[in-house]
Amino acid sequence: METGGAVMAKNGQGRPLGFYFCTPYCAIYGAKRPLVLGDTPVRKGQRFTLERAAEGVRLGYPFRREIVVGTFQTGAAIDYCDPDQPPPHED
């Protein structure tokens, strides 16, 4: 945001879209120009956030830090990323 490459994503009413559903609830951004964040390319107009998830770390799953791109919407169920439970896609 500091360099002008991204802004807080907004909904159809022009309000901030909100936060990612998984702790630590990072903001959702929109790319104003093509970006490369780490090794993840983000196209102009695409929405993105940072996911940091500790799901299952006490069971041997790796701690995840990654840029997530996609279509985000308000009202998603909250996920607390329980370190004592496997990630939902691993059940």
> What percent of the chain lies above the pLDDT cut of 90?
32
* The model's pTM: 0.76
pLDDT in tens, 34-59: 999 999 999 999 999 988 888 888 99
Question: Cα dist. 24→8, 13, 27, 43, 85 in Å?
Answer: 17, 25, 9, 24, 17
Which of the four pLDDT bands, split at 50, 70 and 90, describes residue 78? Answer: low
- Position 16: which residue type? P
Helix (H, G, I), strand (E, B) or coil at 68: strand
Mean pLDDT throughout 54-72? 88
| Confidence check: pLDDT of 91 > 50 | no
